[in-house]
Structure 1
Amino acid sequence: MSDSSLPQRPLEQTAFDEWPDAVRALFDGSSLASKTGFTASLLTVDANQHIRTSLLGAGELYAPDSRTLCIALWPQARAARAIAQSGRAALSFVLEEAFYQVQLLVAPLPPADGDDSGLVYMSCTIDSGETQSVRYARLTSGITFELEEGAEKVLDRWERQIEQLKRAAALGG
């Protein structure tokens, strides 16, 4: 049974291989005081195949061009060790009411002359990127959102989905 009042394609996805202008502006290294609330999740896979998340702020992310993101991590961070082993990471964040997830290829960068911060620097190239948004909800920050008009119908649909998930889990386990 379908709900004809919902859009036919509620999920909107856009692929990219270069930073959109709004992301470039966010990661341009300027006006950091105005970007202090921004947080991105850096996802890595460690040697035990566990997914790890490191939270990064605007002061740890810099996009020098349309396909690159440089990151600064503490050398003892699990993410730094995992990236050193795999050369890969994913970055996810919310910006302008859309969810971004970017697959990154990562290589070490040498520290700048005179740098005694102790940080490890890495250069990430976009392998693939994607934005996602839905018409029935507006992402407000992080993974928090508000339901828009028609919330009751969305909640009803979620109830049905959860029931289906419960049934599927009971059959599978």
Structure 2
Amino acid sequence: MNDSPPAERPLDQRVFDEWPDAVRTLFDGSSLESKTGFTASLLTVDTSGHVRTSLLGVGELYAPDSRTLCFALWPQARATRAIAQHGRAALSFVCDAAFYQVQLLVAPLAAVAGDDSGLVYLTGSIDTAESQSVQYARLTSGVTFELEGEGKTVLDRWERQIEHLKQAAAAASR
């Protein structure tokens, strides 16, 4: 006979429809230099049914409110074409020792006056979302990177992109 206490649930899985505080802070568009290295995987499905991944940094992601994520993509990117066809994407990333996967319903944002970046701005609303963590192991990162060479140039570009995302998000909410 086994008298040991029942094992704790090894997987802590949480479903949410609003960004948790740690994620909102990550995607708030501020302090980009201190968040450099963070990478999220944007997953889309192309016309052939193949899953495609685009890697995005904090300079390409902005959460204007608790249920929305705006992001910037290059117009020629496969993800941009797939989203234009299906209006859906999934974002996965590691934050605050948990793995997140968020299904997004995506729509285009209007162009921003004075923006000559050539980027396409999109807004996604949370369709379904969950985070997962385990008590016996702490996720410390997902895909990460270091800026090399022209890092300052990239940070400057990210600052402009975030400003344009903020402007586009504000215009869409009016």
- TM-score tier, shorter chain, comes to 0.7 to 0.9
Measure how far apart 1:24 and its partner are.
Answer: 0.6
Aligned residue pairs total 141
> Which residue does the alignment assign to 2:165?
none
User: How far, CA to CA, are the matches of 1:79 and 1:5 in structure 2?
Assistant: 48
User: How far, CA to CA, are the matches of 1:13 and 1:71 in structure 2?
Assistant: 26
> Which residue does the alignment assign to 1:74?
74
User: How far, CA to CA, are the matches of 1:45 and 1:63 in structure 2?
Assistant: 23
TM, length-normalised to structure 1: 0.78
Is the 2:38–2:143 contact (alpha carbons within 8 Å) kept by the matching residues of 1? Answer: no
> Aligned letter for 1:133?
S
Measure how far apart 1:7 and its partner are.
Answer: 3.3
Measure how far apart 1:8 and its partner are.
Answer: 4.0
* 1:91 partner SS: strand
* 2:79 partner SS: helix
> Aligned letter for 1:45?
V
> Aligned letter for 2:82?
A
> Which residue does the alignment assign to 1:96?
96
Q: Say if 1:76 and 1:6 are closer, same or farther in 2 by CA, change over 3 A.
A: farther
Measure how far apart 1:53 and its partner are.
Answer: 0.4
User: How far, CA to CA, are the matches of 2:55 and 2:7 in structure 1?
Assistant: 34
Deviations 1:45-95, CA, capped at 9 Å, x for gaps: 000000000000000000000000000000011100100000000000001
Q: Whose RCO is larger (CA < 8 A, sep 6+)?
A: 2
User: How far, CA to CA, are the matches of 1:92 and 1:20 in structure 2?
Assistant: 14
User: How far, CA to CA, are the matches of 1:59 and 1:6 in structure 2?
Assistant: 45
* 1:92 partner SS: strand
Q: What does 1:106-121 align with in structure 2 at a 5 Å threshold?
A: 106-121=106-121
Unpaired runs of 5+ residues, structure 2, are 145-174
User: How far, CA to CA, are the matches of 1:143 and 1:98 in structure 2?
Assistant: 13
Higher mean Cα deviation, 97-106 or 128-137? 128-137
User: How far, CA to CA, are the matches of 2:88 and 2:139 in structure 1?
Assistant: 27
Q: What does 1:35-74 align with in structure 2 at a 5 Å threshold?
A: 35-74=35-74
Measure how far apart 1:33 and its partner are.
Answer: 0.4
Is the 2:40–2:143 contact (alpha carbons within 8 Å) kept by the matching residues of 1? Answer: no
More strand by share: 1
Is the 2:39–2:143 contact (alpha carbons within 8 Å) kept by the matching residues of 1? Answer: no
Q: Say if 1:136 and 1:84 are closer, same or farther in 2 by CA, change over 3 A.
A: same
Measure how far apart 1:107 and its partner are.
Answer: 0.2
Quote the RMSD (CA, aligned, Å): 1.7
User: How far, CA to CA, are the matches of 1:91 and 1:81 in structure 2?
Assistant: 16
Unpaired runs of 5+ residues, structure 1, are 145-173
Measure how far apart 1:42 and its partner are.
Answer: 0.3
Q: What does 1:109-148 align with in structure 2 at a 5 Å threshold?
A: 109-142=109-142
User: How far, CA to CA, are the matches of 1:52 and 1:71 in structure 2?
Assistant: 17
Q: Tell me which stretches of 4 or more aligned residues in structure 1 moved more than 2 Å.
A: 4-8
User: What is the percentage of aligned positions where both structures have the same residue?
Assistant: 77
> Which residue does the alignment assign to 1:17?
17
